[in-house]
């Protein structure tokens, strides 16, 4: 029994009630089936009677009673009741038994589906900027994007992750000017922080030397035209940055399929401009080449007045390349909410140019990590390096794990590795557990929290499960459910809805749904663990069942954490 099956049965019951004259004829309103957080309202419940009551002026209770009596005649449903106007459905012991068996059979695949089979998804995420440290602001795009990638792959899609690096644009004209004017050492010896300092100095100097902006524009134009000196400086800055990024990605445990920066599309923009001219949608405006878009006040700019290309031109070239190369059904952009207008313009223009061929464009607009009273600003040097935050999280985990009087059976090097997994897990979970669209006020203590609703709490629960299993050589996994206490039932009914939770996270692009599920499952297992004996019970059947329950809990925690990109330490 799943939601889709129940939806069909409830709709059928309404039609039967109408046919038999137990309900008048009316257009059936939308039917929803909800997982019941409180078990007194079943495992699932349908509030359809409340919607019908508004149409036919009858009490929800009488409508629910009528539909429930019809549903009780269905062979597909074992337990159904009417209560307070709700229609409540309960899982049978057989269904719960089948759920446990399903986890044993599918293991790492439990919760996955082939819903996306034969479909291709390209996701654009992370995209840090060259010549700037990997800031905390790029954390959200990186780990939310990776989690969405993982979810879609889990749902059967072929996924292609593309790291659209910010390695082109007018900021490089600014950086070249800064390097030529104020740098005193060989360019190849500059650190990423020194490159950022030069960029900040440029913006500071423009306050009393505004002519520097025009000089920067000229240098970027030279870069676009292939000037040897400009290209050499640019290439060194890219190499310095990529080494920095690779170190941070390794620390995060993130590996993105492709890294095609904006510069990759340098020779592909001319065709975009030609397409726009051929379709007569490109217009001259104040010496710039633009496309006017209905419903949007600001036009999309293809060429600036000096002939330089724009960020918008490069994104159009990127769409065309992705369509020609991978022929995707879906292209996702996991980019900050401040780019909302940009993507509206790009998507609309892509459609006008004929690039939107059987593909859906989706901008996942995550909120910003910011100070309480302002945004971060790289230009002003007012930002936080992501690596500093990750190192602080690891340090705090070490302070707990490396206590000499604790965990003496674990070696020092093992404790260091555990601290790394726990610290990184804490940072990832803290972000992913929030709704993607909401801004996050930067609070170091909360970001690296190791307690409460946190990654380490869920990791610890998975380790606890494994430590129980490690104490037995084997157990009978073909256990039969004869009776369940409330704590056991609470765990299995939750495990049973993991596949639909994963499906919901895919459809809504919301990894936070997985976080909420995992926290609830960890809580329910820990309550069970504290209240009931597992290994030393005299009844072998009870012992084996509880071991099976522990195994399936650990497996589902592992599957869910894997979707979030969080690993489980061997010990904690």
User: Rg of the Cα trace of the chain?
Assistant: 29
67, 17 contact by CB (below 8 A): yes
Judged against a pLDDT cut of 70, whether residue 374 lies above it is answered with no
Separation between Cα atoms, residue 204 and residue 263, nearest integer Å:
27
Per 3-state DSSP, the chain is made up of helix, strand and coil in percentages (nearest 5) of: 55, 10, 35
Crossing angle of helices 139-154 and 498-508, in 10° steps, is 130
Q: Is the dihedral of CA 435, 390, 166, 147 positive or negative?
A: negative
Q: Is 387 helix (H, G, I), strand (E, B) or coil?
A: helix
- The answer to whether domain 3-90 and domain 125-370 are alike in fold is no
The CATH class of 386-564 is mainly alpha
557, 518 contact by CB (below 8 A): yes
* CA of residue 172 relative to chain centroid, distance: 31
The beta strand positions in 315-474, using DSSP E, are: 330-336, 360-366, 369-370, 440-441
281, 291 contact by CB (below 8 A): yes
- Render pLDDT for 512-530 as a digit per residue (tens, 0 to 9): 999 999 999 999 999 999 9
Q: Which residues neighbour 86 within 8 Å (Cβ) at sequence distance 6 or greater?
A: 41, 42, 45, 46, 47, 49, 64
How many Cα neighbours within 13 Å face the side chain of 88? 16
Q: Torsion over CA of 275, 279, 285 and 288, rounded to 10 degrees?
A: 0
Separation between Cα atoms, residue 159 and residue 382, nearest integer Å:
35
Per CATH, the number for 125-370 is 3.40.50.620
- Render pLDDT for 117-176 as a digit per residue (tens, 0 to 9): 999 999 999 999 888 888 777 888 999 999 999 999 999 999 999 999 999 888 899 999
Q: Candidates 3.30.70.1350, 3.40.50.720, 3.50.50.60, 3.30.1360.70; correct CATH number of 3-90?
A: 3.30.1360.70
Per-residue pLDDT band at 440 (split at 50, 70, 90): confident
Separation between Cα atoms, residue 75 and residue 77, nearest integer Å:
6
Phi-psi region of 422 (alpha: psi -120 to 50; beta: other; left: phi over 0): alpha
Q: Is the dihedral of CA 412, 418, 421, 426 positive or negative?
A: negative
Is residue 324 within a helix (H) or strand (E), and if so which, with residue range? helix 311-326
Question: 536: how many CB neighbours lie within 10 A of its CB?
Answer: 6
| Whether pTM exceeds 0.85 | yes
Backbone dihedral angles phi then psi of residue 500, each to the nearest 5 degrees: -75, -25
Separation between Cα atoms, residue 477 and residue 302, nearest integer Å:
63
Separation between Cα atoms, residue 553 and residue 572, nearest integer Å:
17
pLDDT for 410 equals 76
Give the pair of three-digit tokens for residue 106: 């599918």
Backbone dihedral angles phi then psi of residue 258, each to the nearest 5 degrees: -125, 150
pLDDT for 371 equals 63
Per-residue pLDDT band at 386 (split at 50, 70, 90): confident
Separation between Cα atoms, residue 559 and residue 514, nearest integer Å:
10
141, 125 contact by CB (below 8 A): yes
- Render pLDDT for 538-566 as a digit per residue (tens, 0 to 9): 888 899 999 999 999 999 999 999 999 99
- Render pLDDT for 172-227 as a digit per residue (tens, 0 to 9): 999 999 999 999 999 999 999 899 899 999 999 999 999 999 999 999 989 988 99
Q: Where are the domains of the chain?
A: 3-90, 125-370, 386-564
- Render pLDDT for 97-120 as a digit per residue (tens, 0 to 9): 999 999 999 999 999 999 999 999
- Segment 445-473 mean pLDDT: 88
- Render pLDDT for 61-90 as a digit per residue (tens, 0 to 9): 999 999 999 999 988 888 999 999 999 999
Give the pair of three-digit tokens for residue 513: 């749904």
Q: Is the dihedral of CA 444, 450, 456, 458 positive or negative?
A: negative
Question: 399: how many CB neighbours lie within 10 A of its CB?
Answer: 11
Give the pair of three-digit tokens for residue 299: 């036009």
Backbone dihedral angles phi then psi of residue 396, each to the nearest 5 degrees: -65, -35
């Amino acid at each position: 029994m799943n939601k889709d099956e129940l939806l069909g049965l409830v709709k059928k019951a309404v039609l039967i009630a109408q046919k038999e004259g137990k309900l008048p004829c009316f257009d059936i309103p939308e039917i929803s089936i909800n997982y019941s957080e409180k078990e007194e309202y079943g495992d699932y419940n349908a509030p359809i009677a409340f919607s019908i009551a508004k149409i036919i002026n009858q009490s929800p209770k009488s409508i629910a009673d009528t539909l429930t009596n019809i549903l009780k005649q269905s062979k597909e449903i074992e337990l159904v009741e009417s209560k307070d106007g709700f229609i409540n459905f309960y899982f049978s012991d057989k269904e719960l038994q089948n759920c446990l068996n399903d986890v044993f059979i599918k293991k790492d695949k439990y919760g996955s589906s082939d819903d996306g089979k034969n479909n291709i998804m390209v996701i654009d995420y992370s995209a840090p900027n060259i010549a700037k440290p990997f800031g905390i602001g790029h954390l959200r795009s990186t780990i939310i994007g990776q989690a969405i990638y993982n979810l879609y792959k889990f749902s059967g899609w072929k996924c292609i992750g593309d790291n659209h690096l910010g390695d082109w644009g007018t900021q490089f004209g600014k950086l070249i000017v800064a390097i030529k004017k104020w740098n005193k050492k060989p360019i190849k010896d500059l650190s990423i922080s020194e490159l950022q300092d030069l960029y900040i100095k440029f913006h500071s100097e423009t306050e009393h030397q505004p002519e520097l902006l025009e000089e920067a524009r000229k240098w970027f134009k030279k870069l676009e035209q292939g000037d040897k000196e400009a290209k050499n400086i640019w290439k060194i800055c890219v190499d310095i940055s990529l080494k920095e990024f690779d170190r941070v990605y390794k620390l995060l445990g993130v590996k993105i399929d492709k890294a095609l920066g904006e510069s990759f599309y340098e020779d592909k923009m001319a065709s975009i401009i030609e397409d726009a001219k051929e379709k007569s949608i490109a217009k001259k405006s104040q010496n710039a080449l633009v496309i006017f878009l209905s419903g949007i006040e600001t036009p999309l700019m293809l060429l600036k007045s000096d002939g330089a290309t724009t960020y918008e031109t490069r994104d159009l070239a990127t769409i065309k390349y992705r369509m020609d190369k991978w022929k995707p059904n879906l292209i996702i952009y996991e980019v900050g909410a401040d780019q909302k207008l940009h993507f509206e313009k790009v998507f609309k223009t892509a459609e006008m140019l004929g690039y939107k061929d059987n593909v859906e464009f989706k901008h996942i607009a995550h909120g910003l990590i910011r100070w309480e009273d302002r945004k971060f600003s790289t230009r002003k040097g007012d930002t936080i390096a992501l690596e500093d935050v990750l190192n602080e999280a690891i340090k705090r985990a070490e302070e707990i794990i490396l206590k000499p009087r604790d965990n003496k059976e674990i070696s020092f090097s093992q404790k260091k590795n555990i601290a790394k997994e726990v610290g990184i897990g804490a940072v990832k979970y803290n972000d992913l557990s929030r709704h993607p669209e909401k801004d996050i006020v930067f609070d170091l203590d909360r970001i690296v929290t190791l307690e409460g609703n946190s990654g380490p709490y869920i990791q610890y629960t998975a380790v606890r499960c494994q430590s129980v299993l490690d104490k037995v050589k084997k157990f009978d996994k073909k256990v039969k459910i004869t009776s369940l206490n409330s704590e056991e039932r609470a765990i299995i009914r939750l495990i049973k809805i993991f596949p639909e939770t994963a499906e919901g996270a895919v459809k809504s692009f919301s990894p936070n749904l997985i976080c909420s599920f995992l926290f609830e499952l960890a809580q329910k297992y820990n309550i069970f663990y504290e209240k009931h004996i597992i290994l030393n019970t005299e009844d072998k059947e009870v012992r084996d069942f509880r071991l099976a329950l522990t195994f399936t809990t650990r497996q589902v925690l592992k599957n869910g954490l894997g979707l979030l990109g969080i690993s489980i330490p061997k010990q904690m």
